[in-house]
Amino acid sequence: MSAFPRLSLLLGLALPLLANAANPLDDEVRAAAHDVMAAQDIPGLAIGVSAPGLRRLYYFGTADRRSGQPVDAATLFEIGSLSKTYTATLGGYAVATGRLRLDESAAQVRPALASSAIGQASLLQLATYSAGGLPLQFPDSVTSEDQANAFYRAFQPPFPAGSRRLYANPSIGLFGALAAQRLDEPFATALQRHVLTPLGLSHTYLQVPAAEQAHYAWGHGKNGEPLRVNPGVYAEEAYGIKTTAGDLLAFVEANLNTGRLSTPLAKALATTQQGYYRTGPMTQGLGWEAYAYPLPKAQLLAGNTPAMALEPQPVDWQHPPLPASGARLLNKTGSTNGFGAYALFIPERHIGLVILANRNYPIPTRIEAAWRILQKLDSRVQ
């Protein structure tokens, strides 16, 4: 492990303005950031918190160890599979506008899949990783959409669609592609037009533009080597978002306050937050994963274990889906080879929290850090 970098803290405040003096929340955020960066050799970290009457952004360390460039409000991080919540929102928008039904089969949208097992899977099963056991990643030989279609047509599910959850990029990736197809636009165009722009996420990208490249952090590998994500088939749909802490927090806040949005987008976000089935300690939404709140930390950790991501899990479908209401904590992790992200929100308490890092570090460590901060946030609204 290399020497722990000198931390630099920039504290950003949004209205209503808060006193500059240290308070227990600031102290806990600083301590949690210091501890996790030291333990995991994380070069840079950004944390955003939101609660009634409070919005703060914190920046620590460097976006690139080679240059020493500090993490700040403009720093772009890869968020990996947290991107799935944006894809789910686009799918929800297609549903809200009558362009798509979650009970449709994949073949109804893409007739080329008609003779395949995956073609018979529903859009909801694809979006919730329950389409029959698609693998976590495409085989290395799949490098184009035509090859992806051939892979889907040839795929033989190891278990019946709807019977097991197995986390899979090709599953929600196809869902996102089919949603965009029904919206008659390329995925990137549809996401920008129907999700990112209406939500005011002006520093959220699938492809970082040239003018923003200087703000794009470098991820750091196990040996400190600089890394960025390699694009692949349906990478945009499954793990392609790059964003700032402020924009990610704004996305979380939109999920907390859907009533302030236009009807289709509000319905889209509500669709992502519904509970479609229970599996183990958590309830699966579209992208988001939910728990009854309050809950013990052990339950949140249990819902984010490697087994939940890498092994088939039995599912208990909810008919009708559990509504997007009540006391619940929703969360999602995201990783690329060089980055690690985590977001959670509690609608009933209007609390949101995001943590972005330019190293892929263990998910339990992310949750432990978030839990520390959450306790301070939650104490403010009790």
Q: CATH no. for residue 371?
A: 3.40.710.10
* Whether residues 24 and 50 fall in one domain: yes
Mean pLDDT of the chain: 94
Q: pTM of the full predicted structure?
A: 0.94
Asked whether residue 205 is assigned to any structural domain, the reply reads no
When pLDDT is averaged across residues 57-68 and rounded to a whole number, the result is 98
* Range(s) of the domain holding residue 72: 10-76+215-381
User: SS3 of 133, please?
Assistant: coil
> Total structural domains in the chain?
2
Q: Supply the pLDDT for residue 326.
A: 85
- Same domain for 183 and 66: no
Catalytic residue status for 81: yes
Do 72 and 90 have their domain in common?
A: no
In a domain? residue 129: yes
User: In this model, does residue 2 exceed pLDDT 70?
Assistant: no
Same structural domain, 261 and 311: yes
Q: Is residue 308 part of a domain?
A: yes
Same domain, 352 and 273: yes
Active-site position among 50, 81, 105, 130? 81
* Claim to verify: residue 272 and residue 309 sit in the same structural domain: yes
Residues 223 and 344 in one domain: yes
- Do 232 and 350 reside in the same domain of the chain? yes
Residue 382 binned pLDDT confidence (cut-offs 50, 70, 90): low
Choose one of 152, 169, 188: the last residue of a domain: 188
Q: Could you tell me the pLDDT band of residue 13, with boundaries at 50, 70 and 90?
A: very low
Catalytic member of 167, 216, 277, 293: 167
CA distance linking residue 154 with residue 141, whole number of Å: 14
pLDDT, position 165: 98
Does residue 196 form part of some domain? no
Over the stretch 317-356, which tens digit does the pLDDT of each residue have? 999 999 988 899 999 999 999 999 999 999 999 999 999 9
Q: Are residues 290 and 226 in the same domain?
A: yes
Q: Which residue's structure tokens are 């959220």?
A: 204
The predicted pLDDT at position 325 comes to: 85
Strands (E), the chain: 10-13, 44-51, 54-64, 69-70, 77-78, 164-165, 204-205, 219-220, 226-227, 242-243, 275-279, 282-284, 289-292, 313-314, 316-322, 328-335, 340-346, 351-357
Task: Return the pLDDT at 199.
Answer: 98
**pLDDT per position as a tens digit, 78-94:** 999 999 999 999 999 99
Q: Give a yes or no: residue 203 inside a domain.
A: no
In this structure, are 159 and 260 located in the same domain?
A: no
Residues 229 and 113 in one domain: no
How far apart are the C-alpha atoms of 372 and 376, rounded to whole Å? 7
Q: For 280-327, what is each residue's pLDDT tens digit? A: 999 999 999 999 999 999 999 999 999 999 999 999 999 999 998 889
Q: With respect to residue 323, please indicate whether it lies within any of the assigned structural domains.
A: yes
Same domain, 70 and 168: no
User: Where is pLDDT greater, at 1 or 193?
Assistant: 193
Q: Is residue 208 part of a domain?
A: no
Residue 242: pLDDT over 60: yes
DSSP β-bridge partners for residue 143: none
CA quadruple 101, 106, 109, 110: dihedral, nearest 10:
170
Q: Based on the residue annotation, tell me whether 167 is a catalytic residue of this protein.
A: yes
Within-domain flag for 358: yes
Which amino acid is it at 340? G
